[in-house]
Structure 1
Amino acid sequence: MNDWISHFTSLTAAPDNEKALFNKARPVQWGSDQIIFHAGTPCNQYLLVLEGQIRVQQISAGGREIVLYRIGPGESCILTTACLFSHRPYPAMGITETAVKAISLPKSVFDQLIGQSGLFREFVFNAYGNRLTDLLTLVEEVVFTRLDIRLARKLLDLGKHAQIIQITHQTLATELGSAREVISRALKEFALRGWIRRGSGQIEIIQRQGLQQLANSEFVSSR
């Protein structure tokens, strides 16, 4: 049952008494596009992803969405950690982007390991700290960086290996925490500049240099 530990190398050196607690973990799996948790769901397990990818996103009262981060193989969820420590329900939604295989540690086992295992504590807090840094970077970009600059950066990132990007305006809006109409206006401006060509459910990058110059801009949001 402890075979899953090999996916998390920092835990492999745990002594036998701690590995006995790891034996209480159970495998879980979901298909693609499945909701694992949503805002208000009680948090009673610590998830460790073995295969696949989970998208964690927040939805405002007005219906606007933003992607907070993604969880891939060998990673855990910062919101799960925070909720387990604070005894609060999830404040956001987790959705599988692919088929996912993971390991679930019940809250009682998680609490025992936090109290008894230095290796496990270090793993949890390292993952928490790294993800928190990513979230602070996201907040900084959303608050201080103009949307057109963030959009140019996102298109360049998505188009690193392909000239044509299969993505909708709504998906881009969710990725960037904006409204679809705002994204559509920005893309229209990019098209008028000759940087991209818009299609149904896709965007073709025509002039990468123009996008790159904008992406490298240091102008900040006026909000």
Structure 2
Amino acid sequence: MNWKEIFPDFEPPLLLEMEHFAVINNFAEDDVLIDIGEPVVFVPLLLEGYVKIIREDKNDGEHLLYYLEKGAVCALSISCCFDHKKSEIKAIAETSGRVAKIPLGKMDEWMARFSGFRNFVLQSYNRRLQEMLVAIDSLAFLNLEERIVKYLRDKKQINNSRFVETTHQEMAADLNTSRVVVSRLLKKMEADKKIKINRKSIEFLD
């Protein structure tokens, strides 16, 4: 594996330690990498694929916070790690891929020893904060049709295709609404010629 290609700003000694201490796991689409309430015993660095990060509310509804892509780390899992708390998020594989699991004991050590790793963690916090603010703005200020458009555009970018493979039920779960409402709005968007609903995918027409 070419660690330097994935993490170009990491120091060579750090890359050597990552190669030695990281546990590499493959995952398949829809696998749950981290679940709510689980002890956080490692910090995941994404090597391949996409992972969506979900937070539950008090009424057991779920909200999509952001996606992780190649070379990213989940800032919320780091927060739980430093605070010695159980996971407050769920990480679900959007695609197949690979993840490097970093032992918790190495986090403090690498933060202190390697500026490249410290900057990476701090920048990850800032980026995920901005993405969560966008998610909050979406809930507060966008109507559901606009949220569906944003959701589909995010998935379109991940797939690098105008075809988005998803189900009405999956969209409803990610957007914390009902499948019936999602289906009704998708049909309206199709009537407005914004999308085309296929059997197993949704196609953007713009």
User: Retained in 1: the 8 A contact 2:33–2:91?
Assistant: yes
Distance 2:153 2:107 in 1: 40
Q: CA deviation at 1:38?
A: 0.6
Residue identity opposite 1:66 in structure 2: H
- What is the aligned counterpart of 1:110 among 107, 112, 134? 107
Q: Deviations over 1:178-215 (max 9, x none)?
A: 32232223224334545555454444556x4xxxxxxx
SS in 2 for 1:134: helix
How many residues matched?
A: 202
Q: Deviations over 1:38-90 (max 9, x none)?
A: 10011121211111222222234544332222212111111111111221111
- What is the aligned counterpart of 2:89 among 89, 92, 104? 92
User: Retained in 1: the 8 A contact 2:50–2:93?
Assistant: yes
More divergent stretch after superposition (108-117 vs 153-162): 153-162
Task: Say what the alpha-carbon RMSD is for the aligned residues.
Answer: 2.8
Residue 75 of structure 1 corresponds to 72
Residue 137 of structure 1 corresponds to 134
Residue 7 of structure 1 corresponds to 6
Q: TM-score under structure 2 normalisation?
A: 0.82
Any stretches of 5+ residues in structure 1 without a counterpart? 209-223
Q: TM-score under structure 1 normalisation?
A: 0.76
- Which of these two proteins has the greater Rg computed from alpha carbons? 1
Q: CA deviation at 1:143?
A: 1.1
Q: Percent identity?
A: 25
Residue 188 of structure 2 corresponds to 189
- 4+ long deviations beyond 6 Å: none
User: Retained in 2: the 8 A contact 1:66–1:178?
Assistant: no
- What is the aligned counterpart of 2:34 among 37, 40, 44? 37
